[in-house]
Amino acid sequence: MIAIVDYGVGNLFSLSGSLEFLGLESEVTADPEKIRAAQQVILPGVGAFGDAMHRLEQTGLVPVLCEEAQKKPLLGICLGMQLLFESSSEYGTHKGLGLVPGHVEPLDREIAGMGLKVPHMGWNRLDICKDDPLLQYLRQGEYVYYVHSFYAKDCADYTLATSEYGVPVTGVVRNGKVYGTQFHPEKSGKTGLNLLRAFAAL
């Protein structure tokens, strides 16, 4: 069973729907026992970093997630990926889970004057820079769907794939059993489903 962490942020309809479509068992839950019993854990999220981290802390799940992340594959999606890092500077400085070295910074500062709109929203090519079982069903240059205004940096050693948007935007990261995708696999058509299928088999 894949546990989808429920901490009151984000629209989980498509995520649980895509796992169901793949024939995978999943449960949206905030129950520590269920998260401990799961084979894999997904940490979703949309919205602002500080608010999401606050909500996650309120559920009391932070220690559970940090512990389980050492034992089984964990996948953070979009803001869920950003929460894996050490900190974010979205509306003030906030501490993250610290499961992946790196920091979350605003994209607009990096790409100012390039005529690019923020949020980085739409389909972008994924450039795979490190082979990984998570990406085993993906070819170089397939398109994935992004919606975000902040991005992870100082994490080159942990980056599996990027997408070009003025700067190489961190697309997929891994540190041990902890994975993250900045894009939404549950909104990235067949490519996204193939990534989720690979995650479930880790």
Partner 1 sequence: MITKRIIPCLDVRAGRVVKGVNFEGVRDMADPVEMARFYNEEGADELVFYDITASAEERGLFTDILKRVAKEIFIPLTVGGGINSLEDFDRVLKCGADKVSVNTGAIRTPGLIGQAAKRYGDQCVVLSMDVKRVDGKFHVFAKGGRVDTGIDALEWAHQGVDSGAGELVINSIDTDGVKNGFDLELLDAIAKVAQVPIVASGGAGMMGHFAELFSHKGMDAGLAASIFHTRQVKIRALKQYLQQQGIQMRITGEEMK
Interface residues with partner 1 (CB under 8 A)? 11, 13-14, 17-18, 20-21, 46-48, 117, 119-125, 137-139, 142-143, 145-147, 164-165, 186-194
From 78, 90, 103, 155, the catalytic residue: 78
186 is catalytic: yes
Q: Are 72 and 35 in contact (CB under 8 A)?
A: no
184 is catalytic: yes
Least distance in angstroms from the C-beta of 196 to partner 1: 9
Q: Which residues contact 177 (CB under 8 A, 6 or more apart)?
A: 69, 70, 71, 72, 73, 74, 202
3-class SS of residue 103: strand
Least distance in angstroms from the C-beta of 32 to partner 1: 26
Q: Which residues contact 154 (CB under 8 A, 6 or more apart)?
A: 101, 102, 103
Least distance in angstroms from the C-beta of 101 to partner 1: 27
DSSP character for 179?
Answer: E
DSSP character for 44?
Answer: -
From 68, 90, 105, 186, the catalytic residue: 186
Least distance in angstroms from the C-beta of 64 to partner 1: 27
* Alpha carbon distance 22, 193 (integer Å): 7
Amino acid at 3: A
Q: Is 33 exposed, middle or buried (0-12, 13-18, 19+ CB in 10 A)?
A: exposed
From 94, 120, 148, 184, the catalytic residue: 184
Q: Which is nearer to partner 1, 98 or 119 (CB)?
A: 119
Query: Catalytic residue numbers?
Result: 78, 184, 186
